[in-house]
Amino acid sequence: MTDQTKANRRDQVLIAFHRDCTCPTVDQIIEWTTRYPEFAEDIREHAAILRDWAAEPCDEDEPADDLLLQRGRSFALNAIYEAQNAPAEDSEESFKTFDQLMEAQDLSTQKLSRSLGIAREVLADLFRGRMKSPVGKRLLDALMKEFRVGYEQFQEAFRYALANPSIGHAKANRQPTISQRSYEEVVRGSNMSEERKLFWLSDD
């Protein structure tokens, strides 16, 4: 996991913690630190701050003074101007990898597998560069819709995955290898029912 991916993952976990535990109890703290041990320190310190906030007497937001509000609105105008003049590489179209496309839509391989009704291993092979081109039309259309991207952006992520494949599992008698299979081979080799395989292999 890259540093940026880990930082994004940490943020997602903490957002969920803030949403679900506005006044964390001891069992909630243990539950979350057990579930996400790599972020245990962050969770504990956020829990402490959430408990501080919960102890405050007033539930309503405190009004910020006019000076702060004026500065904030000035920052907002700056943000509009910068967004209008953002160079191409900073624009929305710069995302390259499947991981980034999923993160942008708050998706995961597991969530996609459930919502699309397709074996997770098929998606994993695609995202990890173990599926050769071309991707089946039905899956291509479905993923472009889930990721809210066009054909070119999807292909860009696909090309990146193919150029940076994840190696397969190591075997006892040989080094781990990168094996790439066709879309049909991946689908037929999955644990889906025959009916689902036929569905994903057809174009209509």
Q: Please report whether residue 8 would count as binding other proteins according to CB under 8 A.
A: yes
Q: Please report whether residue 96 would count as binding other proteins according to CB under 8 A.
A: no
Phi and psi at residue 159, to the nearest 5°:
-60, -40
- At 181 the three-state DSSP class reads strand
Give me the helix-helix angle, 26-35 and 3-20, nearest 10°.
160
Q: Which residues pair with 131 in a beta bridge?
A: 181
DSSP per-residue codes, 51-92 = HHHHTSS--SPPPPPHHHHHHHHHHHHHHHHHHHT--GGGSG
Please pick, from the candidates 3, 87, 89, 106, the single residue that binds other proteins as defined by CB under 8 A.
106
- At 64 the three-state DSSP class reads coil
Q: Which of residues 32-71 bind other proteins (CB under 8 A)?
A: 33, 40-41, 44-53, 55-57, 60-64, 68-69, 71
Nearer to other proteins, 74 or 193 (CB): 74
Q: Please report whether residue 203 would count as binding other proteins according to CB under 8 A.
A: no
Binding site for other proteins (CB under 8 A): 8, 11-12, 14-19, 25-27, 29-30, 33, 40-41, 44-53, 55-57, 60-64, 68-69, 71-73, 75-80, 82-84, 92, 95, 103-106
